[in-house]
Structure 1
């Protein structure tokens, strides 16, 4: 059974997907005005630079967006000052604005309609010709639009498919009206983009959705009112949703390079300037008598886990995998099938290349949104930003969960906290915010900064003798309320 967990707080929207109790994907979106993938804006051509084949577009934000000055656009005769709709296809990075496309698309649960496309296309997972014929009898082409049929459409009724087609075309028509009559540049489509996208792409026949936010619960229930097999629950626990369901611990594990395999082997994921490199090791997998079988077993399990880790960590660009050398060519085909099968649910643009002469496998993957590391980590100030540490805001979230649990289960109101010295300057600069963020304005907090720990340690203080031992680290009342 598939489970989708949706957790929203004042800063982030986080979504996790589990299949049969195994975490498969995790998405994070920051509450900000930055453009996000899939959003659609009314834009105006600010500049055309043929030398770098780029068009720069004002979309009403501080940074201009850009798009490739393709042959088609040259033939179209795009001019400076011209206004049209654009879709965000790559989020802004550093000083570079968002990358956009003139071919806007609107996704639904059963199909995606693209303005400027042509005809009816089908998901690669719809291979049955009878199913394609059945859908083509229901969904007819529309001039000037491309319609991509999603896998779930196979199980939908004629009425539902037609209703969605009409709804998506209406959305595009309304956007075109805004382009024509609105004077302002800016976003005209895409509120709750990541939430809507994840829901539409990941619903199966049996699915459970757990949500911690009342407005999100209402929106999801309205969107899925006709889906009777989908269970929707609102979570009202004291700690965060991800903490309550053990997802937080699994996300923290994604910072580790080494991932253990059940067979006793492991994979090691390293990031270089140009690519990700994944090494497969047999390690403790020495129980089998056959050397070839042991290698095959390790490589197959590694291939499955690598597919999961690529999706979970949202790895993008070039990924190179160094499997354990296999003497038998037929074993390579088995491993390749396992890898492709592990990536078949990946909604990103992913391509797996055959084994090279050096027994390496290369994967090219277009990352969807930001990597999870960008929300977990920040540069380490003490090592001139060459290394990475957990973000203070994330550590505060983790500490808050532990404080709430200790208060609820044992009525504890006093805590000794150790933080890595990396955070000392930030925390001492605003003690009030730190204590407030860990839900402890009314608690006794003893705070110490030490070297050599990963993030933090927290200890509930039950006895007076414990408090006496750390009395020098107590945060005074005036510090909490200054």
Structure 2
């Protein structure tokens, strides 16, 4: 069964999805003032560079968005100064602005409408020909846009599908009206939270519960679920003292994602490394000596690795080119089974993913579309001491972990004084703006004593119960 955990803290929203108590996906959304995928804007073309077939578009941010000129999008006749309706495809990366498309699409739970094509089409996952025929005969198609029937549509009646299409079409017309009457580049449409994406794409018939800790998010989720006949799920408003991710031990699993070596039950392991151009995953048999032949050992290790690789790629949100070096296998039928296990692991993946056959060298290549940041980008940053070759936990994430530890201590006994040791690699960043660092803990009403040391990996939190202890560390008391 599937369980969804939604935790909101300050400017951070985190969502975890577990299946049979195994963490499958984790989404993190920071409050950022930048364009996000799926948002629709009125833009003005500032420049066109024919050499790279690209247009640069002002959408109201400091960085111009960019759009490739593509006959498929019918955007060959663009002109400088022209107003254009666009949709964000990829968020900003570094100095690069957002990538946008020259067409728009509005997703619902059962359908998606877009103005790139016309007519009715179906998700590739829908194989039932009778269902397709029934839809073709009874759906209320639209003359000027395309309707794509999603997998979830198989579990509701045609009337429900038609109602959603009309609702999406009303939003579509409203967007165009706003576009025509808006003078400057601006956002015209966009769901402000990944919660809507999760509700639309990740709730299925196996979803048992949604656990949420924010009353507003609870109301949004309940309102959405109550209006969907194919959803039957229990929604819990968590009111515990500790954070959801800490209480359900999801935080430990997120921290474990910093490990590049992932052990397998068979005794083998996979090693995940990021290069400048791609992610590379190596499969090792390790201590797997349970089988009598090398061929059997290679197959069993590779099969288990394929299942785990699919989980790790989705969990870490790896994208681009992913190259897998499986253990050499002698038999083609074993290779087919390993590929099938890999493909099965991506069946529920909403990112567009292509898996290519084994090469002569025994390598498998995956091409996965980028949607959002990888988990690494949220929890760690390059290490300045090793010229960016290593990485450290982000100070913002350490602050969250420290708060978790304080809440854990406070739940056991009401403590007013907290002593924190933190690695001195963070001293300059913290002392530069001590108030910002401490504001995470201020709401807890604690007296904080902070010492920078070099013999802890990241930090250590200790409750100060006795007066002698407080006296020993009084020089480290933080005064803002």
Q: TM-score, normalised by structure 2?
A: 0.94
After superposition, where does 1:278-293 map in structure 2 within 5 Å? 278-293=281-296
After superposition, where does 1:421-432 map in structure 2 within 5 Å? 421-432=424-435
Contact 2:58 2:64 in 1 (8 A): yes
Contact 2:140 2:162 in 1 (8 A): no
Counterpart CA distance in 1 for 2:479 and 2:157 is 60
Greater shift in the superposed pair: 331-340 or 209-218: 209-218
Unaligned runs of 5+ in 2: none
Residue 405 of structure 1, aligned match among 395, 403, 408: 408
Counterpart CA distance in 1 for 2:76 and 2:448 is 65
Contact 1:4 1:17 in 2 (8 A): yes
Q: Does 1:310 align with 2:324?
A: no
Counterpart CA distance in 2 for 1:365 and 1:81 is 34
Residue 322 of structure 1, aligned match among 317, 322, 325: 325
SS at the partner of 2:220?
A: helix
Greater shift in the superposed pair: 179-188 or 271-280: 179-188
Give per-residue Cα distances to partners, 1:14-35, cap 9 Å, x unaligned: 1111111111111112211110
TM-superposed CA distance for 1:275, in Å, is: 0.7
Contact 2:307 2:341 in 1 (8 A): yes
Counterpart CA distance in 1 for 2:460 and 2:90 is 38
Counterpart CA distance in 1 for 2:283 and 2:117 is 42
TM-superposed CA distance for 1:83, in Å, is: 1.5
SS at the partner of 1:438?
A: helix
After superposition, where does 1:166-315 map in structure 2 within 5 Å? 166-207=166-207, 208-227=209-228, 229-315=232-318
After superposition, where does 1:343-422 map in structure 2 within 5 Å? 343-422=346-425
C-alpha distance 461-209 of structure 1, shift in aligned 2 (>3 A):
same
Greater shift in the superposed pair: 456-465 or 328-337: 456-465
C-alpha distance 302-106 of structure 1, shift in aligned 2 (>3 A):
same
Residue of structure 2 in register with 1:107 after alignment: 107
Give per-residue Cα distances to partners, 1:174-197, cap 9 Å, x unaligned: 000000112232111113242211
Counterpart CA distance in 2 for 1:158 and 1:170 is 19
After superposition, where does 1:42-81 map in structure 2 within 5 Å? 42-71=42-71, 77-81=77-81
C-alpha distance 246-73 of structure 1, shift in aligned 2 (>3 A):
closer
Residue of structure 2 in register with 1:40 after alignment: 40
RMSD of equivalent CA atoms: 1.9
Contact 2:69 2:76 in 1 (8 A): no
Counterpart CA distance in 2 for 1:370 and 1:85 is 25
Residue of structure 1 in register with 2:98 after alignment: 98
Counterpart CA distance in 2 for 1:200 and 1:75 is 30
Give per-residue Cα distances to partners, 1:299-350, cap 9 Å, x unaligned: 1110000000110111011111011111122111110110011111111111
Counterpart CA distance in 1 for 2:138 and 2:469 is 72
Contact 2:87 2:104 in 1 (8 A): yes
Greater shift in the superposed pair: 320-329 or 75-84: 75-84
Greater shift in the superposed pair: 283-292 or 386-395: 283-292
Q: Does 1:480 align with 2:448?
A: no
SS at the partner of 2:399?
A: helix
TM-superposed CA distance for 1:75, in Å, is: 6.8
TM-superposed CA distance for 1:140, in Å, is: 4.1
SS at the partner of 1:289?
A: coil
Q: How many residues align?
A: 477
SS at the partner of 1:26?
A: strand
Greater shift in the superposed pair: 172-181 or 136-145: 136-145
Greater shift in the superposed pair: 425-434 or 182-191: 425-434
Residue of structure 1 in register with 2:130 after alignment: 130
C-alpha distance 327-30 of structure 1, shift in aligned 2 (>3 A):
same
Greater shift in the superposed pair: 370-379 or 231-240: 231-240
Give per-residue Cα distances to partners, 1:219-252, cap 9 Å, x unaligned: 2222222345122222222222211221111111
TM-superposed CA distance for 1:292, in Å, is: 2.3
Counterpart CA distance in 2 for 1:473 and 1:130 is 76
TM-superposed CA distance for 1:214, in Å, is: 1.6
Q: TM-score, normalised by structure 1?
A: 0.94
Contact 1:107 1:197 in 2 (8 A): no
Unaligned runs of 5+ in 1: none
Residue 341 of structure 2, aligned match among 338, 341, 354: 338
Counterpart CA distance in 1 for 2:75 and 2:245 is 51
Counterpart CA distance in 1 for 2:193 and 2:398 is 27
Counterpart CA distance in 2 for 1:392 and 1:75 is 44
Counterpart CA distance in 2 for 1:327 and 1:341 is 22
Contact 2:382 2:392 in 1 (8 A): yes
Counterpart CA distance in 1 for 2:260 and 2:75 is 48
Residue of structure 1 in register with 2:24 after alignment: 24
